[in-house]
Structure 1
Amino acid sequence: MRDIRHFIDGAAFDGASGRFADVFDPNTGEVQARVQLATTGEVDRAVQAAQNAFDGWSSTNPQRRARVMFEFKRLVEANMDELAELLSSEHGKVIADSKGDIQRGLEVIEFACGIPHALKGEYTYGAGPGIDVYSMRQPLGVVAGITPFNFPAMIPMWMFGVAIAVGNTFVLKPSERDPSVPVRLAELMLEAGAPNGVLNVVHGDKTAVDAILTHPLVHAVSFVGSSDIAHYVYQTGAANHKRVQAMGGAKNHGIVLPDADMDQVIKDLAGAAYGSAGERCMALPVVVPVGKKTADELRERMVAEIPSMRVGVSTDAGAHYGPVVTAQHRDRIAGWIEKGVQEGAELVVDGRDFSLQGHEKGYFIGPSLFDHVKP
């Protein structure tokens, strides 16, 4: 059994908690690895490594930090196929989606490559009688990110890319469901020239989250996840005098007007509602058509479109989407479908009985469609 270890102070680190979480292959339902779950002490070790690296990294001039980001970008692009396959094997999204996940993260790394200009302060002469005003931009110190399962490359890069480029050092606590890509990104950051301790990865559950939120040397925390946990992260972090951005509960809703280009609507809805098995933060699960005629046409066109959507294993280049991330997630979706039926909505297309030949134990669920849903 492959063990996924922490990455602390520039090297793989074996935790001593004795606690592990299973990492599944969603295509087969089999356990493919286990990830170590950190103790409070192991989180402290990562924070201390980041703190030790801070003075040297923050005093490195912005141009040199930017060169590290340029090289990191090059290395991620050079390893794109490996990273995408690793991501798909743990998350279940198809390879094309995984490459998109990585590329969207790289867009923020590209921004971080231009950080010297963004770090310039301001100076105002004569703001008042005998008063000049100037501002300086300075790093905080050790900062942390707590990231979700659905974008294990993009969201960590969104967080640590800018934080590190401006001179902070970083502790990342990724989702324990698909933790391998964040570790690989930390290895590439080291290879790109970042000193030991600039980017650390600790795996864990609530124990690790609480250790980050209460650690006196962690000055800021960024979080993406469910709304309930976002509230908890914000309240706990703020109570411990940290800057916190906590983003939770994102889903889109759509309105289809009578004059909409229905060909484009169907194309967009198929991707937005069902793409990546609906596990994107900005998925679009609810659509309100304006008027019965629009609603009838939308329903008819979607019913015709759904059979053309191919559900397959994550390595299937022709698949539109793959399995969901865990059996619990699949069962939860099936439970919501059943709840809709019980509450009186019309289940037009039922994807609960979907099974992929040869992968019957995988976490697959077919596209489903409700109509006449009441509040």
Structure 2
Amino acid sequence: MTTDSIIPVFDGHNDVLLRLHMSSQPDPEKRFIEGEKAGHIDLPRARKGGLAGGLCAIYVPSPSHELDANGDYPTPSHTDALNTTLAMASLLARIERKSGGALRICRTAGDIRAAMAAGAFASVLHIEGAEAVGPDLDELYVLHQAGLRTLGPVWSRPNIFAYGVPFRFPSSPDIGAGLTDSGKALIHACNELKIMIDLSHMNEQGFWDIAAISDAPLVASHSNAHALCPHSRNLTDKQLDAIRDTGGLVGLNFGVSFFREDGQKNPDTAVEGLVRHVDYIAERIGIEHVALGSDFDGTTIPAAMRHAGDLQILVEALRKAGYDDAALRKIGHENWIDVLERSWAS
């Protein structure tokens, strides 16, 4: 594969900050910038695979892996979530500072385009689960000033804003209640601040509650088609249609349990299974509404695509399936930049 044949990818979701934050190894900034064997993403592997940037998630793990009586993961306290969120945001800022321009934190679509043109990793600060934000929303305004530009109100657990969809297979996403009054206030504030709202861990009621009150495109950063893989985390046809109707976007999740028909977490799974989901979503709602949301460093991906350095394996599988370079550029980065630009427009 020549450099000219590489399609740059702007990706809708990764958990590299969590991996670096949780690691016991020293100097996480150096390990990201210079490269390492652990995980899916670092700067050298991103460059090799054409990963030009993406939404870098701040996710605060549950204090325990034990499910409660309702089958939910426990929710971290506000204090713990805020402390962890600030630590991970600081880590991204330190990587930017030490990278010599090789990574840039982007706050506008113009920033993303400029970073990609310069060969820098275009990073957008994202929060996955808003436990760091209190009911008065003060932290949201401070985090926005620090660079926060996209936010998922929940991970797959309940918090003061909504009920996150649990991980279930096979299952409808119609599990639990929707937005609370605090959640509705959060959505209105995100609209005011032009923070993109991510629906990937919302249950179905929460999805429709947001659709009813948000004035922004509906976006699911790392979800797949429920019709092909009936996982609770995936999107029904009706949800896909609503995303299309608002000019929104779906980022395809590389997690094998979210695209296999049997929902199994088996890394011995061909990337062509992902192509089926791209085909399905593009045929149903249009290629302008489909992109990539790898979930690198946060899920089990196909073994044949070991890490970000192998990202062009999926691009070549899409090319083999009949997608030309213009379509691949849309899926690879243009659709993401377009929806972010419209979500962030004043």
Q: TM-score range by the shorter chain?
A: under 0.3
- Structure having the higher strand fraction is 1
Structure showing greater Rg = 1
